[in-house]
Amino acid sequence: MNFFQTGYKGKNDWWMYIVTLILVFIGTQVGSIPLAIAAYNQVDGDMQRFSETANDAWLNIGMDSNLYLFLMILSFVAGLLMLYLAVRAIHRKKWKWIVTSRDNIDWKRVFFGVTVWGAISIIFIGLDIFLSPESYEWNFKPIPFFTLVLVSVLFIPLQTSLEEHLFRGYYMQAIGMWVKNRWFPLIVTSVVFGLLHGANPEIDKIGYIAFVFYIGTGFFFGIVTLLDEGTELAIGMHAINNIIAALFVTTDWTVFRTDALYVDTSDPSVGWEMFLPVFVLYPLVLIIFSKKYGWKNWQEKLFGKVEKPINQDVIEELGS
């Protein structure tokens, strides 16, 4: 049974997917309340100052960056919890059914994704620092940094898990079951995933060209999911990508403004680092994964039909 056929398990009435989207949205909004309260208290209840800084990540008002990161992630945690409850209570599905087509979630795949993408990311960050040392300032502060490590390792995977389970799992399966093919859900979820990053400050600083990276990354994670018949590799790569982004290099114009090891002092610009992952590194990683896991029939897995399995066990529901 492949990844899309696994999606047929449980209940899949169309209205359930709309209700789930609404619940996840409500969850993220409720989860953002602690951040809003902390920011409001930071400006001593000054509503004008609060409204003026709310669109700038609330860091310019002097909020501790680690506290901000933790509170920001809470909105994703609340959204993930709502998705979990909807999958279990509304769809009557087991959580693993939106994660993988395998009998159980393959954690070795998750950690292999972490290892491969983590190593590549660190190598290229180090290379850029070596080639352009004038653009970086050493920023190591023991207590803030190790606090950042703790917050990042424990909580950033929850943020990325919401995005992966929602886009590459839940809605990838749903759209595939509706349209009966693989390529359309890949396009839709990848484009929507990229466009939802339009609120990131990078868009304002660099321009819409940044969507090349965000949408390209969505396609990469989606392609990996389809070829591997599960989201484990994408989950691992997405988590380590954001952890490294938080720990190694920060700027005053990106979504992750942290007490990282280095501060990038260069002016925002469109450089090779915007296109290298999409057009060079992502294809390289696909080759590595293909060799590791023996991926075959790429055309069928990316462009083939989605067929409902005829086995009776597809009607299995949680607890049956």
Q: Is the pLDDT of residue 240 over 80?
A: yes
Quick one: which H or E segment has residue 12?
none
Range of the domain at 190: 3-308
Q: Is the pLDDT of residue 315 over 60?
A: no
What pLDDT does residue 227 have? 98
Range 292-319 average pLDDT:
81
Q: Is residue 81 part of a domain?
A: yes
Q: Is residue 317 part of a domain?
A: no
SS3 sequence, 68-101? HHHHHHHHHHHHHHHHHHHHHHHCCCCHHHHCEC
Q: Is the pLDDT of residue 319 over 50?
A: no
Q: Is residue 107 part of a domain?
A: yes
- 28, 66, 72 from 39: Cα distances, Å: 17, 13, 11
Q: Is residue 319 part of a domain?
A: no
What pLDDT does residue 199 have? 75
50-64, 119-133, 195-209, 210-224: least confidently modelled range: 50-64
**Token couple for 105:** 């979630």
Q: Is the pLDDT of residue 55 over 60?
A: no
Residue 249 β-bridge partners: 262
Q: Is residue 316 part of a domain?
A: no
CA 122/CA 22 separation, integer angstroms: 37
Q: Is 240 left (phi over 0), alpha (psi -120 to 50) or beta?
A: alpha
What pLDDT does residue 195 have? 93
CA 301/CA 172 separation, integer angstroms: 13
Residue 249: pLDDT band with limits 50, 70, 90: very high
Q: Is residue 31 part of a domain?
A: yes
Residue 251: pLDDT band with limits 50, 70, 90: confident
Backbone angles phi, psi at 250, to 5 degrees: -130, 160
Range 19-33 average pLDDT:
97
Residue 149: pLDDT band with limits 50, 70, 90: very high
Domain count of the fold of the chain: 1
Q: Is residue 301 part of a domain?
A: yes
Percent of the chain beyond pLDDT 70?
91
Q: Is residue 262 part of a domain?
A: yes
